[in-house]
Amino acid sequence: MSKIAASARIHPLALVEDGAVIGENVVVGPFSQVGPRVVLKDGVELISHAVVTGNTEIGHNCRIFPMAVIGGVSQSLHEAGEDSSLTVGDNCTMREGVTMNCGTVGGGGKTVVGSNCLFLANSHVAHDCQLGSGIVMSNNVMLAGHVHVGDRAILGGGCAVHQFTRIGRQAFIGGLSAVNYDVIPYGMLNGNPGILGGLNVVGMTRAGIERATIHRVRRAFKQIFEGEGNIRVNAAAIRNEYQDCAEVMEILDFIAADSDRALSSPYRGKG
């Protein structure tokens, strides 16, 4: 049996399958479909012609626009019908044609999206992706499987992100860019292949980071990417110098972490 709150409004031309959980003040518009393992928390709105399926939980006050398919089976070649899930946080907007897939057992079984994210038309979140909060994915952005995106990152229209790539917090990816390698927190990447052109200073300023701190981060950036050693050696060498700067330490920790991908750099895209 479905559990549907009394205040929910289900259009007579919508299909809510047995087993779905529908919260208070949820709106399910005409020609929308809600699968039997779906949880729509309070205030969710499916405007029309939207599909939410799979083992999927949609957080409070999310809006899902026409032709979006949320919680579909992964497009992995190794997909074999195993149990997996998709979780979307609160206050997210999924515009027309957005697709988000559930995870795969081989990738941990979970695709996770944080809160306050905006997904513009036809953007795609593949299996096992892990997304933070406050992210903006512009029209036609494509995330391959197992991609990690940090809080408040912005991805420009039509950019494509290679599987297993990490994009750090508050990074900015230019439109139509090819993201083949990891992008450091606060990094700005453009082009095909993507070149790390510097720091997302505008985003850092909007986030309230002080000018003096931004100057220190820029200095560290030059030491890391313009020093005589390779990127990881340079990053390790300056760690003691920046112990009191959380933003630089975040970049250094990102560089030091294990990853399946190389690091984007200002030189040929790969460090």
Report the Cα–Cα distance between both ends of the chain, in Å, rounded. 54
Active-site residue set: 127-128, 145
Contacts 24+ apart (CB under 8 A), 164-169: 164/259, 164/260, 164/261, 165/261, 166/254, 166/259, 166/261, 168/250, 168/251, 168/254, 169/132, 169/250
CB 81 within 8 A of CB 49: no
Q: Give the tokens for residue 98.
A: 């957005």
